[in-house]
Chain A
Amino acid sequence: MSTRSATVEAPVQPREPRHVPAAPSAAVRVEGVSQIFERGRPPVLEGMDLTVAAGEFVCLVGASGCGKSTLLHLIAGLTQPTSGRISVSAERPALMFQEPALLPWLTASGNVELALRARGLGRAERRAEAERLLRVVNLEGHGGKRVHELSGGMRQRVALARALAQDSSVLLMDEPFAALDAITRDVLHEELTRVWAEQGLSVVFVTHNVREAARLGQRVVLLGSRPGRVVREWQADIPQPRTIESPGVGALATDITRELHREISRHGQ
């Protein structure tokens, strides 16, 4: 990653986001994107620039109103930006929502198979591939279960398997673990880190949980609110395996939180 050269002493270096040269192997490139939902209302995003390198794990943190979800939906192609350009290396990025968003009339396996069906796989192939993907998220033997028979953590893992079933090199995640308890979340962090490393995915992970961002990301981007834009970034050079308790994670989180508080305080004045 030569383009992002000056890898700074972790974890505390501000970066000037606008001048990051676009990496040639960028997985996601967002250039000067603004989004206005209603005429006359302040923009949700303004002049947003973000580049995610292939294979990179980037976490976006920010308070309410920073347009995190809007940005993900834009990258996913669910909505079109008012202005600016977005390019994604994958034809169709996979997206995980805050809710598992599993279809309740299908089994766990059926939900995964739906993604495979959208890719045009045959019935037998779908079944075998779904079984493999459920094994990847450690849900072997649970494929026949209905959604309501699964716990919150299991549902979110099925959702992850369904996202992986899209066979996209880019995975977008919109606060996927926000509704889970702390123990389950820790376990899923581990799971996600493993899947990311094994599959060589480029991940854009949105969260309001600073510690989670420091735990997962190779790079953490702080977004300001109203309008949403990049305020600062940190390179998180904390060795793997990490846990939520790793000292490096704590130090980085403290630093991001301080900056986040400063950004939020601005709005109270």
Chain B
Amino acid sequence: MASEDSRGGRPGLTVVDREDVQNRAVEAGLDALDASPNLPDAPGPGRVFLRSVLPPLVFLALLVGVWELAYLAELKPSYVLPSPGDVAQKFWETVQDGKAAEAVWTSLTRGAVGFAMSLVIGTLLGLAMWWSRWLRAAIGPIVSGLQSLPSVAWVPAAIIWFQLSNAAIYTVVLLGAVPSIANGLLGGMKQVPPLFDRVGRVLGLSALGRIRLVLLPAALPGYLGGLRQGWAFAWRSLMAAELITYSPKLGQGLGQLLNIGRELSQMSLVITAITLILVVGVAIELLVFAPLERRVLNRRGLTMR
């Protein structure tokens, strides 16, 4: 064949080699020109403070200012609307006598255990629903329905089933978080482009290998979204459950602290408890989920700025 001759012939080879060297030089140039430029350096601490930390602080200060003015104007009696100073003092008291730490610890460990159980059950449920079309059709609508049902609605049922116990609390937490996690995983897996699975098959990966090495990593962003929502729902459900299942043998979580405030008509304690609940929620979001999500999205070049 003519083309064979011109490729295989010794004298021609040098031409091919020279062509090749030139081609490689062009290629290297294209790569240098084409490759997406490096992202701008991360902003320094000063900028981060100005952009992300200062605005919420300013807003918070304004809020407290308006609150103080409302207090000074005596819009409401002080047992209904205490001054910011009163609340700050109560907050400090609660922190100092260890009640705050105790309540946060009790709720947080409960939340963590409940979330861990939800994680296992939700993940298995999501996988099973992906695996079996029949199961998906059968329980998919119920799982989605549960997701929009406020889990506080389960508290009376849980108390009737399990009395005032940790089991009742965990039941409510699970019913709150499991549907989000299962749906998040299922949604993530459904969104994986079919092309990825075809790649796995062309490469000769087994069915299990394709799930482990292709499908699950591809579904990770959706799964993480589900986990994040699952935690938010678990935390809310936990507060609702703790607020209602008040019993001395259950220890004192943040919800119970809230309940004491209500029974003693101590508005400053109520606001203290609300603040603690908020702080824990924000802290988990900022310390656990935000960095995790950022890392996953960064790796895939999906970061939004």
Contact partner, B300, options A94, A105, A187, A237, Cβ 8 Å = A105
Closest CB in chain A relative to B298 CB, distance in Å: 9
Contact partner, A7, options B1, B6, B213, B296, Cβ 8 Å = B1
Complex Cα spacing A93 to B1, Å: 25
Q: Report whether A97 and B195 are in contact in the complex, using a CB–CB cutoff of 8 Å.
A: yes
Cβ contacts under 8 Å, A241 to chain B: 6, 15-16, 19
- Mark contacts of B206-222 with chain A using CB atoms, 8 A cut-off: 1 yes-contact digit, 0 otherwise: 00010001100110100
The yes or no answer to A160 lying at the interface (CB within 8 A) is no
Q: Report whether A191 and B27 are in contact in the complex, using a CB–CB cutoff of 8 Å.
A: yes
With A105-B300, A151-B31 known as contacts, the answer to whether A237 contacts B204 (CB < 8 A) is no
With A104-B300, A105-B218 known as contacts, the answer to whether A151 contacts B35 (CB < 8 A) is yes
Q: Report whether A114 and B30 are in contact in the complex, using a CB–CB cutoff of 8 Å.
A: no
Contact partner, B7, options A190, A191, A197, Cβ 8 Å = A197
B38's nearest neighbour on chain A, judged by CB, is A149
Within 8 A of A (CB), among B165-214: 195-196, 198-199, 201-205, 209, 213-214
The yes or no answer to B10 lying at the interface (CB within 8 A) is no
Q: Report whether A240 and B7 are in contact in the complex, using a CB–CB cutoff of 8 Å.
A: yes
Within 8 A of A (CB), among B11-36: 12, 15-16, 19-20, 23-24, 26-28, 30-31, 34-36
Complex Cα spacing A118 to B202, Å: 10
Q: Report whether B204 and A101 are in contact in the complex, using a CB–CB cutoff of 8 Å.
A: no
Complex Cα spacing A104 to B220, Å: 12
Cβ contacts under 8 Å, B204 to chain A: 92, 118-119, 166
The yes or no answer to B301 lying at the interface (CB within 8 A) is yes
Complex Cα spacing A153 to B24, Å: 13
Q: Report whether A151 and B195 are in contact in the complex, using a CB–CB cutoff of 8 Å.
A: no
Q: How many residues of A contact B (CB 8 A)?
A: 47
The yes or no answer to A268 lying at the interface (CB within 8 A) is no
Q: Report whether A78 and B198 are in contact in the complex, using a CB–CB cutoff of 8 Å.
A: yes
Q: Report whether A138 and B34 are in contact in the complex, using a CB–CB cutoff of 8 Å.
A: no
Cβ contacts under 8 Å, B36 to chain A: 148-151
Complex Cα spacing A139 to B88, Å: 61
The yes or no answer to A194 lying at the interface (CB within 8 A) is yes
Interface CB pairs A-B, < 8 A, 29: A1-B1, A78-B201, A92-B204, A95-B202, A97-B195, A97-B198, A99-B195, A101-B195, A104-B299, A105-B217, A105-B218, A105-B300, A115-B203, A142-B31, A147-B300, A150-B36, A151-B35, A183-B26, A187-B27, A190-B20, A191-B23, A194-B16, A194-B20, A218-B1, A218-B3, A236-B3, A237-B3, A239-B5, A241-B19
- Which residues in A have some Cβ–Cβ distance to B below 8 Å? 1, 7, 10, 76, 78, 92, 94-95, 97, 99, 101, 103-105, 114-115, 117-119, 138-139, 142, 146-154, 162, 166, 183-184, 187, 190-191, 194, 197, 218, 236-241
